């Protein structure tokens, strides 16, 4: 994620008088992923309410939320059943924890549901509150496991350049995006990064997807050998990279990467925080791309982000080693006050029920096909380098020169400008550098998909005029 100092158009920033609420925000709040000095001048877009795939600002303007918030509001922004589920659970048991042999019905039922849904056999679920917390927890649990099994040297983690796994300190070390590490003394030692599986950007001339996958697998193998296989704990990857630019892995990639990991007895962790629950056209990204993980990480669409919740699924091999160590120590010395929160778990259960009842995984696959086919109509545009995606997640990568794939002036300038113009036209999207992402709620219909594409087209026209002076 690259955010450069390219100002949004003045009509976007100051299209309406600034409200007292916006003024309060500017005085009191530090925003994530935001240039604080720029925010002091332009202020926030204050979102007041939601309606299906739309959000509405304090002035009544509607925006299609083409990012489902943060890749996460599967059921949109006004699902009454989720609100009712939260209200009901609040009235029964508004909070309880899972420490010291305590439990409650929502977390028990959700754990059972997730084990039964899992794409490969899993044994236990551990609840956390966010994808970042889940990734941090996985790191600690794998270290704990290896210490228990007499493998204290197996501490290093391998992830990918361009991968995103969160922003807590250890998770930010897994993440392979410089913007999430600059100034934070990350990554920590022991976190290694191998090649990004983006064929458009990183393949050699005339290198097929399969050949590119071969080369990436060989690079991973060489890195493991160089570091010493007995020092590597796990390989962590998103089935499809999200925040790194919606990077779809090349054909045969995951098959070959897994083969290398299994050869060296390295655990495979699938970070499904963005991909899970229908986003890639199947229930899990692991099913879409043929991954058989030892550990599975879930969040975002687990509750449509109506409540913060995440879950880690462990296979039996991993669980048994951890369980033995807890017996030796007397307890697992790790957990979160809100982990498996009863209200969040109740909302997640209802969310998964709706996804199943409304057949939203198949619907997402169908709407995703339409979205990509419509975005492909821009493939010959002078500023469009690549259109890519899988299921209901896609990206259009912008370039200043199609032949060389070069950016305009500096990476991120085109993407930031276009995202600003899209907002002016009533669509919220997100640029990762010069890649414009699309990840709308799973409930989106055909007319709304076409509206996204129309508004992207208007923003692209504006961007062309800006580039051409």
Cβ-in-10-Å burial (0-12, 13-18, 19+) of 288 comes to: buried
Mean pLDDT over 334-357 rounds to 98
Residue 15 has pLDDT above 70, yes or no: no
pLDDT digits (tens, 9 = 90+) for 384-434: 999 999 999 999 999 999 999 999 988 999 999 999 999 999 999 999 999
Mean pLDDT over 286-311 rounds to 98
Pick the CATH number of 10-78+359-467 from 3.90.1150.10, 3.20.20.140, 1.10.287.3510, 1.20.1630.10: 3.90.1150.10
pLDDT digits (tens, 9 = 90+) for 146-188: 999 999 999 999 999 999 999 999 999 999 999 999 999 999 9
pLDDT confidence of 469, banded at 50, 70, 90?
confident
Residue 199 has pLDDT above 80, yes or no: yes
Residue 141 has pLDDT above 60, yes or no: yes
User: Which residue ranges make up each domain of the chain?
Assistant: 10-78+359-467, 80-357
If one compares 231 and 8, the residue with the highest pLDDT of the two is 231
Residue-level pLDDT at 16: 53
pLDDT confidence of 19, banded at 50, 70, 90?
confident
Residue-level pLDDT at 18: 65
Residue-level pLDDT at 464: 98
Topology of the domain comprising 80-357? 3.40.640
Residue 2 has pLDDT above 50, yes or no: no
Residue-level pLDDT at 17: 60
Q: Give percent above pLDDT 70 in the chain.
A: 96
pLDDT confidence of 7, banded at 50, 70, 90?
very low
Residue-level pLDDT at 10: 36
Residue 9 has pLDDT above 60, yes or no: no
Residue-level pLDDT at 5: 34
Q: Give percent above pLDDT 90 in the chain.
A: 95
Supply the mean pLDDT for the chain. Answer: 95
């Amino acid at each position: 994620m690259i955010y450069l100092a390219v100002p949004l158009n003045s009509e976007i920033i100051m299209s309406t008088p600034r409200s007292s609420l916006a003024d309060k925000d500017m005085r009191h709040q530090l925003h994530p992923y935001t240039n604080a000095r720029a925010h002091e001048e332009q202020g926030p877009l204050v979102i007041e309410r939601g309606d299906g795939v739309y959000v509405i600002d304090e002035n009544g303007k509607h925006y299609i939320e083409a990012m489902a918030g943060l890749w996460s509001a599967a059921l949109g922004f006004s699902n009454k059943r989720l609100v009712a589920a939260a209200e009901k659970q609040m009235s029964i048991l508004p909070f309880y924890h899972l420490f010291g042999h305590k439990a409650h019905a929502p977390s028990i039922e959700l754990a059972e549901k997730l084990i039964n849904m899992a794409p490969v056999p899993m044994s236990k679920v551990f609840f956390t509150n966010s994808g970042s917390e889940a990734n941090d927890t996985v790191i600690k649990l794998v270290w704990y496991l290896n210490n228990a099994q007499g493998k204290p040297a197996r501490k290093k983690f391998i992830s990918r350049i361009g991968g995103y796994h969160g922003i807590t300190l250890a998770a930010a070390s897994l993440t392979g995006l410089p913007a999430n590490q600059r100034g934070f003394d990350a990554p920590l030692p022991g976190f290694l990064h191998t090649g990004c599986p983006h064929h458009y950007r990183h393949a050699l001339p005339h290198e097929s997807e399969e050949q590119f996958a071969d080369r990436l697998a060989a690079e991973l193998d060489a890195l493991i050998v160089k570091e010493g296989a007995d020092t590597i704990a796990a390989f962590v990857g998103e089935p499809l990279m999200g925040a790194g630019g919606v990077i779809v892995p090349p054909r045969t990639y995951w098959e070959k990467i897994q083969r290398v990991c299994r050869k060296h007895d390295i655990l495979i962790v699938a970070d499904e925080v963005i991909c899970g629950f229908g986003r890639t056209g199947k229930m899990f990204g692991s099913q879409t791309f043929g991954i058989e993980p030892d550990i599975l990480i879930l969040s975002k669409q687990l509750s449509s982000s109506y409540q913060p919740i995440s879950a880690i699924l462990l296979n039996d091999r991993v669980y048994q080693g951890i369980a033995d160590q807890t017996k030796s120590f007397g307890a697992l010395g790790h957990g979160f006050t809100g982990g498996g929160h009863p209200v969040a778990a109740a909302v997640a259960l209802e969310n998964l029920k709706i996804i199943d009842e409304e057949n939203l995984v198949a619907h997402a696959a169908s709407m995703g096909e339409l979205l990509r086919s419509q975005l492909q109509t821009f493939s010959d545009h002078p500023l469009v380098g690549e259109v890519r995606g899988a299921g209901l997640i896609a990206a259009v990568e912008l370039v200043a020169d199609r032949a060389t794939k070069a950016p305009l002036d500096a990476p991120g300038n085109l993407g930031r400008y276009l995202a600003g113009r899209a907002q002016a036209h009533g669509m919220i999207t997100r640029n990762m550098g010069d890649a414009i992402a699309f990840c709308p709620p799973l409930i989106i219909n055909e007319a709304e998909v076409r509206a996204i594409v129309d508004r992207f087209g208007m923003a692209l026209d504006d961007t062309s005029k800006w580039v051409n002076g």
